[in-house]
């Protein structure tokens, strides 16, 4: 971890088969990539230089701070996911576990009062994702099946909707289509692209030229959707 601009930033140090050293801020972590075999003193030197680089970069590009900001949720807050709006009802109680349920358009969250604030914040994010996933699941499953009927017509074992920060979706060799709840913050046409992308993996379990040809055949402007995801990824989260 490192501190910069009043934020705690996770740091990932990677030793790779490469010639140069690279600094980066990707998603919710700072990265330091170095050649395999560098001495310990070189690593310490680069960590010091990384700190200077991060301080300067966050000052020049404040938008990069967004993924590291800790969201707070209170009673009366409105959570907007796609075209749906949820009123939040957050309460601390003398209980052992955290729970949440959807009642009408209100997400009722019950938190264990004895837990630490940071832990409650993380739990709220998880609970919101689960509740919203349950609300959206019938529609998302229908759209996955509809796209499959109109395109590849392959067997789908299951459609899953759950939180995943590392990717927007995945498709297993066992024909399980998995989509991240973060995708629900994206426009419908972008969601459709990710659905189509994962369905194409039912035909090609790779990113070969044939795979991209399949995607382009059914969505010629798919690269526009990819750009949207890259440009707006930090806004798509709970």
Average pLDDT over residues 29-51: 96
The pLDDT score that the predictor gives to residue 75 is 96
Residues 131 and 145 in one domain: no
Question: With 80 as the cut, is the pLDDT of residue 70 above it?
Answer: no
Domain of residue 85, residue span: 78-135
Tens-place pLDDT, residues 150-174:
999 999 999 999 999 889 999 999 9
Over the chain, what is the mean pLDDT? Answer: 95
CATH of the domain at 141: 3.30.2010.10
Q: How many domains would you assign to the chain? A: 3
The verdict on residue 73 lying in a domain is no
Question: What number of residues does the chain have?
Answer: 238
pTM for the full model?
Answer: 0.78
Residues 146 and 130 in one domain: no
Instruction: State the pLDDT confidence band at 69, using cuts at 50, 70 and 90.
Output: confident
Question: With 90 as the cut, is the pLDDT of residue 235 above it?
Answer: no
């Amino acid at each position: 971890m490192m501190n910069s601009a009043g934020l705690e930033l996770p740091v990932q140090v990677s030793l790779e088969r490469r010639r140069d050293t690279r600094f980066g801020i990707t998603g919710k972590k700072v990265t330091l990539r170095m050649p395999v075999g560098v001495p310990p003193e070189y690593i310490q030197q680069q960590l010091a230089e990384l700190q200077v680089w991060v301080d300067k970069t966050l000052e020049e590009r404040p938008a990069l701070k967004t993924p590291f900001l800790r969201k707070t949720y209170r009673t009366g807050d409105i959570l907007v996911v796609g075209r749906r709006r949820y009123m939040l009802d957050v309460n601390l109680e003398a209980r052992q576990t955290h729970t949440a349920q959807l009642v009408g358009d209100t997400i009722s969250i019950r938190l264990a009062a004895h837990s630490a604030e940071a832990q409650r914040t993380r739990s709220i994010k998880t609970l919101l994702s689960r509740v919203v996933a349950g609300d959206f699941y019938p529609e998302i499953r229908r759209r996955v099946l509809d796209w499959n009927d109109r395109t590849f017509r392959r067997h789908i074992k299951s459609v899953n909707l759950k939180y995943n920060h590392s990717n927007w979706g995945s498709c297993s060799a066992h024909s399980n289509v998995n989509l991240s709840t973060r995708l629900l913050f994206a426009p419908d046409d972008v969601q459709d692209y990710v659905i189509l992308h994962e369905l194409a993996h039912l035909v090609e379990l790779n990113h070969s030229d044939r795979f991209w040809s399949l995607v382009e055949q059914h969505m010629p402007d798919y690269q526009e959707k990819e750009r949207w995801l890259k440009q707006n990824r930090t806004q798509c989260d709970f």
